[in-house]
Amino acid sequence: MNRRRFVQTLLLSTAVPSLLWTACKSKPSGQQIAKKTTFTCPMHPQIVQDHAGNCPICGMDLVPFDKNNKDKFLTLSADQQALANITTMVIGEGNLNDYTAINGRFVVNPEQTNYISSRNTGRIENLYVKETGIPVKKGQPIYRLYAEDLLALQEEFLMTYKQAKQFPNDQRFTDIFKAARQKLLLYGQAESQLTVLLKNGKSSPYITFYAPSSGTIAELLVTEGQYVNEGTSVLRLEEYNNMWVEADIYPREAALIREGQELKVIANGVSDTSLTMKVQFMAPNYQANTQIMQLRGTVTNEDHRLQAGMPATILLAKTSQNKTLTVPSKAIIREGKQSHVWLASDKEKFEPRFVETGIESFNETEITNGLAPGEKVVVSGAYLLYSEYVLKKGALSN
């Protein structure tokens, strides 16, 4: 009996380790290791973690992405492209200038500034334009003046007219009448006013004065009821059909500019505005205690979108290259030392392409490697494609 129990104990002690080893090797299917999820920052794809949280750089919530998806392209339907405002263009070779940007400013052209002053001594009875910024047209009434001196001149004009009419063969009376008429014209009376005066035959100390040219009221220097002397400034009229562009330039920039040269001007704050300025003046000497010269030119302003004091950027071409492959600068996404663009390889398929860049102009960049003429590049919406790619696939790698 003891021998039989001994044999059973020996067999059991031999079988238990084998069962335990088998159980450890074959885990139930419900205890399989879960697939690990990876998280990244939409704005900083270099941040990668194996758990949710916040970006240590910008504080945004980390989002999950599938790092096992190796397809380096995105598929967007026509509706998605319209929503993202994605536009493309076929690139080709052309000329490219390397520009230096010079900061300038728009200034009112003094040749289109008109100071209106009183030609008579008197009192401002009525001021028909009472605030600045109001546009006026040539011939529009501006103010009404009470002037006793003009009353005497009108009486003289009417009297000499009657004498010249009564003695038509006497040249002396004719000359005196012409002199009286010319004197009223010099004192600011219009031809139409003299015609009415002769028709009515009645003088008046209240005289209305009209705008000699069209423009905008830039400054009012008198008020109603104010007494003015001969030569007192009443207001300042400015026209803005063309503007001056002024800039301070250094010697290295002055060496590239000559009078009569045409330069490209960008109006800061006015979108899609490219102007051509003809250099009219370069100061012959430097400003006191500086190495700065003044540059000035004129640009047209027919739509009056340009205003005095608005900043301007003058583009000075330094070098020029022919048959250069270029793309719009806004189509290039730069991240660190790498640059890439997005290509439309199909109607709904977009893929990134790393490129090498060369010289840059104001809105174009030379592509030295990575693209070929005829390829279709995404111009607007490239950054949205890049963000979508980061969200779905992680950081873009070369």
* pLDDT given at position 222: 92
**Res 15 pLDDT > 60:** no
**Res 317 pLDDT > 80:** no
151 close to 159: Cβ distance less than 8 angstroms: no
pLDDT in tens, 342-370: 998 888 889 999 998 887 776 788 888 88
Per-residue pLDDT, averaged over 32-42, amounts to 63
User: Vertex 225, ends 223 and 228: CA angle to 5°?
Assistant: 75
- The better pLDDT of the pair 61, 161 is held by 161
Q: In which band, very low, low, confident or very high, does the pLDDT at 45 lie, cut at 50, 70 and 90?
A: low
Per-residue pLDDT, averaged over 36-61, amounts to 77
**Res 97 pLDDT > 80:** no
* pLDDT given at position 398: 67
Task: Please identify which residue in the block is written with the tokens 């809105």.
Answer: 363
Average pLDDT, the chain: 81
pLDDT in tens, 106-165: 999 988 888 999 988 999 999 999 889 899 999 899 999 998 888 888 888 888 888 888
**Res 394 pLDDT > 80:** no
* pLDDT given at position 2: 52
Contacts of 361 (CB under 8 A, 6+ apart): 96, 97, 98, 99, 315, 329
* pLDDT given at position 237: 92
* pLDDT given at position 190: 83
**Res 234 pLDDT > 50:** yes
pLDDT in tens, 156-187: 888 888 888 888 888 888 898 899 889 888 88
Q: In which band, very low, low, confident or very high, does the pLDDT at 69 lie, cut at 50, 70 and 90?
A: low
**Res 261 pLDDT > 70:** yes
